């Protein structure tokens, strides 16, 4: 509907900002100086002031919107189209090639046949766009007026997450995970990387920059297994992750920095969001493959005029009018997943010569063939050996394996509270195997005597320690054998196999968004010249956010909506904690394992007794400072400052 703003016409008609809003401000370039031109919040100025309702510049009552893909990015786009764009829900239609909604946020099964989850997402309290949306989505289990965010807070505020067995080795023994073990040169390398401009890092890999001592440190084990980074992945993406999670670095050793949902990601996020959208009239057309877009390109711009699709073997073309919009999820990190079970290995017949030919990737390739503004999908889908790994979901009845897992859990896994608190990584595993037991039950229909665990291996193409095969060559039972060997219970394997259902998932593109890239390889959310087309998901360019998170998907959706509809509303940049002196000092201390950092004692002396003395974390060496000529001079300087204060 058209919003009546006539009472504000004297202001809006003379405004330099109205209808000229910068929808995606960039904190890495903005000089934060107040002036008469600065009317909107600074780029990363997070808060309720950003919760204003944007005023559409026209009515969209007759506009139709087609969203390709029902993943979290597509669903978020529908939400923001309705909430901020005031587009009627019945005008929005999803087109998805799968027979179920949710995209990569999956979770299905039962106790008799086994549950399956291809992967999961670690969640952070600073996901401003995700929580902006889910604070308005009705709760899954609580009554009205509670939201998904309310449920999330209820669980995590009262059941803190942490791990007591982040690293294990030597057949199930907990190893010391209290220190990062970084050499001074490697700490300095991290600092230098944070200082580098993004433009300096095109097409560089992590191993191009960091030393062997860094790559062999505990820090890198924590980091790579938590985020699924390989040494050949993008150095730029690694840098962006370090900025994004600077505030959480000290909690990565025991996962105390994370918050997890009560249930799996499908039940937690997809189900309530889908119900909300459907209650607004949104239509979801499954089993519909979008092959290409009919785009008219001339000097005036790029306009989508039609959608070429296939449904039940029949080709169809959907006309797109001049007042209609199309939002496309480009690429897919879970496309072409192949599955196995206790007795069967995943059958993956693709190689690099045939990679990226499935519908999700082919659609992006077809767009890229029309114009360079649509990016270079081949940079991400052409090296399967570098972008793939395999996961396994274990549906477990009581067994020797469950008994061993109990020993490694913070609480009894049957209690409904935090269990392992995140992945447990086996450091002497050739596969670098990790497994996790999240809060149970992990599924709404899960019986009380069943546990659901998730396993993945970062080095799956190496020969196992016990089973002399690569992980993709193994059946589910053989993966169980390898896991039981590393837990010191291989002599009880028959008992474990009898009581464990295994479903494996081989995903050829699961870390494809981490592949080294350069400027222009990923398209912008609204590519240059496009008037009615937005691109969302993990393979589009944002200013400072990272990939492989739900937050980044929601961010791209929100940018697409605000930009296409030209709302007088901004999508705030990532949380500004990277600029917070407290977080910078905490990170420096943490990276040095809380041994005194250079100049720390000077800073402590200067801040002692002041309002700011709390910004340094206490450490055991505070009392071991040695006086020197320099410290004497500093003391004199401090005395002089004190005199000035009088």
Whether residue 351 contacts residue 336, with contact meaning beta carbons closer than 8 Å, is answered with no
SS3 call for 391: strand
SS3 call for 554: helix
Catalytic residue ranges: 122, 241
Q: What are phi and psi of 441, to 5 degrees?
A: -70, 145
10 Å Cβ neighbour count for 4?
8
Of how many residues is the chain composed?
Answer: 646
Q: What whole-number distance in Å separates Cα of residue 517 and Cα of residue 294?
A: 28
HSE (side-chain half, CA atoms, 13 Å) at 323: 9
Question: For the CA atoms of 355, 360, 366, 367, what is the dihedral angle to 10 degrees?
Answer: -130
Q: What is the 3-state composition of the chain as percent helix, strand, coil, each rounded to the nearest 5? A: 35, 15, 50
- Which residues are within 8 A (CB) of 524 and not within 5 positions of it... i.e. 6 or more apart? 373, 535, 540, 541
Q: What whole-number distance in Å separates Cα of residue 354 and Cα of residue 48?
A: 49
Element (H, E) at 341: strand 338-341
- Which residues are within 8 A (CB) of 133 and not within 5 positions of it... i.e. 6 or more apart? 76, 79, 80, 273, 554
Question: Which of 363, 347, 361, 356 is CA-nearest to residue 307?
Answer: 363
Q: What whole-number distance in Å separates Cα of residue 397 and Cα of residue 114?
A: 11
What does 95-140 look like in DSSP terms, one character per residue? E-SSSSSSTT---EEETTTEEE-S----B-TT-HHHHHHHTSSBPS
Question: For the CA atoms of 190, 195, 200, 205, what is the dihedral angle to 10 degrees?
Answer: 10
Whether residue 532 contacts residue 63, with contact meaning beta carbons closer than 8 Å, is answered with no
Both structure tokens of 223:
């980091």
Whether residue 66 contacts residue 36, with contact meaning beta carbons closer than 8 Å, is answered with no
Helices vs. strands in the chain: H and E counts, helices first: 21, 18
DSSP conformation class of 610: S
Whether residue 218 contacts residue 84, with contact meaning beta carbons closer than 8 Å, is answered with no
Q: What whole-number distance in Å separates Cα of residue 240 and Cα of residue 231?
A: 16
């Amino acid at each position: 509907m058209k919003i009546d703003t006539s009472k504000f016409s004297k202001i809006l008609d003379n405004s330099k900002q109205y209808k000229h809003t910068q929808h995606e401000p960039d904190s890495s370039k903005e000089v934060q100086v107040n002036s008469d031109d600065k009317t909107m919040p600074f780029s990363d100025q997070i808060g309720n002031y950003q919760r204003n309702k944007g005023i559409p510049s026209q009515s969209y009552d007759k506009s139709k919107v087609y969203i390709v893909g029902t993943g979290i990015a597509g669903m978020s786009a529908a939400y923001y189209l309705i909430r901020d764009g005031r587009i009627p829900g019945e005008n929005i239609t999803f087109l998805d090639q799968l027979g179920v909604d949710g995209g990569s946020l999956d979770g299905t099964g039962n106790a008799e046949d086994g549950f399956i989850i291809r992967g999961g997402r670690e969640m952070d309290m600073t996901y401003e766009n995700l929580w902006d949306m889910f604070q308005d989505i009705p709760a899954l289990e609580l009554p009205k007026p509670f939201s998904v965010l309310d449920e999330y807070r209820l669980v995590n505020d009262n059941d803190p997450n942490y791990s007591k067995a982040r690293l294990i080795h030597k057949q199930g023994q907990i190893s010391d995970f209290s220190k990062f073990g970084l050499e001074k040169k490697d700490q300095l390398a991290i600092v230098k990387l944070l200082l580098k401009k993004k433009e300096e890092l095109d097409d560089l890999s992590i191993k191009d920059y960091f030393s062997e001592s860094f790559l062999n440190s505990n820090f890198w084990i924590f980091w790579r297994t938590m985020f699924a980074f390989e040494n050949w992945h993008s150095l730029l993406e690694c840098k962006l992750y370090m900025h994004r999670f600077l505030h959480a670095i000290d909690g990565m050793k025991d996962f105390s920095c994370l918050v997890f949902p009560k249930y799996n990601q499908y039940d937690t996020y997809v189900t309530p969001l889908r119900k909300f959208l459907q209650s607004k009239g949104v239509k979801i057309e499954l089993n519909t493959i979008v092959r290409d877009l009919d785009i008219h390109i001339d000097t005036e711009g790029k306009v989508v005029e039609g959608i070429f699709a296939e449904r039940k073997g029949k080709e169809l073309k959907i006309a797109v009018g001049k007042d209609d919009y199309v939002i496309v999820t480009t690429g897919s990190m879970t496309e072409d997943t192949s599955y196995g079970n206790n007795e069967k290995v995943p059958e993956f017949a693709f190689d690099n010569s045939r990679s990226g030919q499935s519908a999700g990737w082919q659609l992006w390739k077809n767009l890229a063939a029309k114009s360079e503004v649509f990016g270079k999908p081949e940079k991400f889908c052409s090296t399967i050996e570098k972008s793939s790994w395999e996961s396994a979901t274990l549906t477990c009845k009581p067994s020797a394996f469950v008994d061993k897992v109990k020993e490694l859990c913070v609480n009894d896994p049957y209690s409904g509270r935090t269990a392992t608190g995140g992945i447990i990584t086996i450091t002497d595993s050739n596969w670098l195997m990790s497994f996790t037991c999240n809060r149970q039950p992990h599924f709404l229909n899960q019986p009380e005597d069943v546990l659901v665990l998730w396993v993945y291996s970062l080095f799956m193409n190496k020969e196992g320690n016990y089973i002399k095969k690569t992980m993709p060559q193994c059946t589910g039972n053989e993966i169980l054998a390898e896991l039981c060997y590393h837990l010191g219970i291989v002599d009880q394997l028959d008992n474990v196999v009898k009581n464990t259902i295994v479903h494996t998932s081989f995903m050829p593109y699961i870390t494809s968004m981490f592949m080294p890239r350069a400027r222009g390889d990923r398209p912008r959310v609204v590519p240059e010249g496009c008037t009615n087309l937005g691109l969302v998901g993990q393979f589009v360019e944002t200013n400072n956010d990272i990939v492989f998170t739900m937050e980044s998907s929601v961010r791209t959706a929100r940018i697409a909506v605000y930009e296409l509809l030209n709302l007088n509303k901004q999508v705030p940049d990532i949380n500004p904690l990277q600029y917070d002196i407290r977080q910078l000092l905490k990170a420096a201390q943490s990276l040095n394992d809380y041994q005194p950092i250079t100049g720390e004692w000077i800073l402590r002396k200067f801040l002692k007794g002041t309002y700011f003395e709390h910004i340094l974390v206490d450490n055991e060496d505070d009392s071991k400072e040695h006086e020197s000529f320099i410290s004497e001079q500093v003391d004199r300087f401090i005395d002089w400052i004190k005199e000035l204060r009088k």
